[in-house]
Amino acid sequence: MRMKQTGSEILLESLHREGVDVFFGLPGGVVLPLYDALYSSGVRHLLVRHEQAAAFAADGYARATGKVGVCLGTSGPGATNLITALTSAMMDSIPVVALTGQVPLHLIGKDAFQECDTIGISMPSTKRSFLVRSAADIPEIMHQAFKTAVSGRPGPVLVDLPKNVLMESGETTYLNERGMEKKECIREWTDADLERAADLVLDSRRAVFYAGGGVIASQAWDELRELAELTKIPVTTTLMGLGGFPSDHRLSLGMLGMHGSYATNQSICNCDLLIAVGARFDDRVTGRLKDFSTLSKKIHIDVDPSEINKNVRIDVALVGDARQTLRALISAIQRQTDQAPAPAARQQWLQRIESWRGEHPLTYDKYGHAMKPQYVIETLCRHAAEDAIVSVDVGQHQMWTAQFWKFRQPRTWLSSSGLGSMGYGFPAAMGAQLAFPDRQVIAFVGDGGFQMTLNDLATVAQYRVPVKIAIINNRALGMVRQWQEIFFEKRYCDIDLSYAPNFAKLADSYGIRGVRVDHRADVEDAVRDLLSDREPGLIDFWVDPAENVYPIVPPGASLAEMVVEPPRVLLEEEALDDLWAV
């Protein structure tokens, strides 16, 4: 159907037809025609206080829902402020569509006010970038943008909108289908490849599934669990894969890699078959590449062919959607169940893993007087709803949450994992909460990362977004401090964050209930109170500033060389106390 509308009206109608129920943005001169059309459109928009928060919120929305998140920035600095978050979405394969204003077409290349080469800047940070040249082109471009964002390996897409295009009137035709619903699925494996993979699984005695974010992106969690239970093969997940396999399942190994458990990393070092599903063998998982899982043959299931043999040599590659491929692999194995190894062989492997767990379990000092961050996280986990969504910033608290939170459902974990962008946790939680207003959404943030995006407390207050914020406050850039302590002879340089606002009072100033907790004995009651209502809330937990994340695989080391606990020497607690004295 053709109708005459402005470019801005066409854009909003296109978003509506793509099923967008909310988007996040900040107005500016070039996009004012769009905001004028938004005034009476009925499309929901959240005014953020920084464009980076808009893109992180869109990212959080996308991770929690599996749908495309949408954000908006004006030209020039509005567009460039989106780039960090788009890069994070690109590295983590998150479907986001970013809308950016641009100077009128006839001024592009003339160094007009707030002009920048948004297409050029965004190319390394997106799957594709579009420059719209006519209002009539908007429906088709938006369809392609949404389709591209979800097809194959998901990721962000940018649509650059010159001001004259937003203002011009014209007739257009809308498509009768959504881009999200027309995503392209890739399959490059053959039946012979599948049979080779099934044979390797059936011949193995000490196999491990290594599941990454692709399990979440392709909604393959049921297939992964079915295959693991069918074959009695344990499952480890990457930081991106948390929630793709239940943490409390008897076959769960938790997270592997730099801060994975001793038992998990030992299983990787000693397995005879490693089955990677939607994972990319990044350096935080592998440690020293030449010594990574040298005893195993390897199967790699991934939708992105460029990941095959990029870091680690693979024996069988199954390039395709993880859900479809796992379903096919289940069928292939079920046809050959008479060739499966004796249950005793797999049971012996599981018992060996249990013995490693007993040698070096994930733990911390649970009986001292200091308030440990792990205790705070465990307490929140005990009292949170089973379907609570957890968003984290980047640093020590991110790793502690990955280690000690019990993930029972997919799409309940939000983390800037590949780029590791501080400032992510709070706005991403805001985006997830807008997607699921009736679910608990908890943002674990450090006192460093929170100060990068805390201005969006105003957004939470304005729209009464009931996000719960837990600040793991160690008065420092904690992970940097840990590395300086372990690898740089305790030469602490520029990590002191004791000059910070009183976060509880800051929250109060926005009309959000804020509390500071200094003592372990007060944690339980504070957590119960935080989770007791449907209002935004903040607790500033002043945790032990000397606590470090263990285990750790030192840089340049192999997984077998991980350090499982701090050296048994006295810490310079007096020096630390002086450094972070209040």
Q: How far apart are CA 215 and CA 142, in angstroms?
A: 27
CATH number at residue 18: 3.40.50.970
Instruction: Give the pLDDT confidence score for residue 184 in this predicted structure.
Output: 75
- Name the one residue in this structure whose structure tokens are 């289940």: 330
Alpha-helix runs per DSSP H in 255-392: 262-270, 283-286, 322-334, 343-359, 373-383
- 210 and 113 assigned to the same domain: no
**Which secondary structure element, helix H or strand E, spans residue 165, and what is its range?**
helix 163-167
Which 8-state DSSP code applies to residue 186?
Answer: P
Instruction: Give the pLDDT confidence score for residue 172 in this predicted structure.
Output: 87
DSSP conformation letters of 193-209: HHHHHHHHHHH-SSEEE
- 389 and 518 assigned to the same domain: yes
**Span 477-508, pLDDT tens digits:** 999 999 999 999 999 999 999 999 999 999 99
Q: Could you tell me whether strands 252-255 and 468-473 are parallel, antiparallel, or unpaired per DSSP bridges?
A: unpaired
Residue ranges making up the domain that contains 7? 2-182
**Span 385-420, pLDDT tens digits:** 999 999 999 999 999 999 999 999 999 999 999 999
Q: How far apart are CA 458 and CA 206, in angstroms?
A: 52
- 520 and 465 assigned to the same domain: yes
Instruction: Give the pLDDT confidence score for residue 339 in this predicted structure.
Output: 61
- 241 and 333 assigned to the same domain: yes
Residue 220's identity, in one-letter code, is A
**Span 434-464, pLDDT tens digits:** 999 999 999 999 999 999 999 999 999 999 9
Alpha-helix runs per DSSP H in 385-511: 396-404, 425-435, 447-453, 457-463, 478-487, 503-509
- 173 and 203 assigned to the same domain: no
Domain count, the chain: 3
Task: Identify whether the C-beta of residue 267 lies closer than 8 Å to the C-beta of residue 356.
Answer: yes
Q: Domain for residue 580, yes or no? A: no
E strand residue ranges, 265-323: 273-277, 297-302, 316-319
0.85 surpassed by pTM: yes
Closest residue by Cα to residue 238 from 210, 262, 266, 263: 210
The values of phi and psi at residue 288, to 5°, are: -65, 115
Instruction: Give the pLDDT confidence score for residue 565 in this predicted structure.
Output: 87
**Mean pLDDT in residue range 241-250:** 97
**Residues facing 98 on adjacent strands:** 71, 158
Q: Is the dihedral of CA 521, 366, 264, 446 positive or negative?
A: positive
Q: Domain for residue 455, yes or no? A: yes
CA distances from 147 to 25, 106, 544 (A): 22, 29, 47
Between 578 and 255, residue with greater pLDDT? 255
Q: Domain for residue 164, yes or no? A: yes
Q: Is the pLDDT of residue 575 over 50?
A: no
Between 43 and 413, residue with greater pLDDT? 413
Active site residues: 51, 113-114, 163, 479
- 419 and 486 assigned to the same domain: yes
- 155 and 127 assigned to the same domain: yes
DSSP conformation letters of 522-534: GHHHHHHHHTTSS
**Span 336-365, pLDDT tens digits:** 876 655 678 889 999 999 999 999 999 999
Q: Domain for residue 572, yes or no? A: no
Q: Is the dihedral of CA 208, 214, 218, 221 positive or negative?
A: positive
Q: Is the dihedral of CA 400, 391, 479, 525 positive or negative?
A: negative
Q: How far apart are CA 582 and CA 569, in angstroms?
A: 26
Q: Is the pLDDT of residue 1 over 80?
A: no
Classified as helix, coil or strand, 52 is: helix
**Exposure on the CB side of residue 565, measured as CA atoms within 13 A:** 9
Q: Could you tell me whether strands 441-446 and 413-414 are parallel, antiparallel, or unpaired per DSSP bridges?
A: unpaired
- 269 and 413 assigned to the same domain: no
Q: Domain for residue 491, yes or no? A: yes
- 378 and 519 assigned to the same domain: yes
- 336 and 456 assigned to the same domain: no
Q: Domain for residue 574, yes or no? A: no
Residue 545's identity, in one-letter code, is P
Q: Domain for residue 579, yes or no? A: no
Q: Is the dihedral of CA 376, 378, 379, 385 positive or negative?
A: positive
Q: Which own/partner contact pairs does 280-284 have at CB distance under 8 Å and 24+ positions apart?
A: 280/212, 280/304, 280/307, 280/310, 280/311, 281/307, 281/310, 281/311, 281/312, 282/238, 282/311, 282/418, 283/311, 284/239, 284/257, 284/258
Q: Domain for residue 51, yes or no? A: yes
- 291 and 382 assigned to the same domain: no
- 101 and 175 assigned to the same domain: yes
Q: How far apart are CA 179 and CA 151, in angstroms?
A: 9
CATH number at residue 345: 3.40.50.1220
Give the CA angle between residues 348, 352, 357 to the nearest 5°: 145
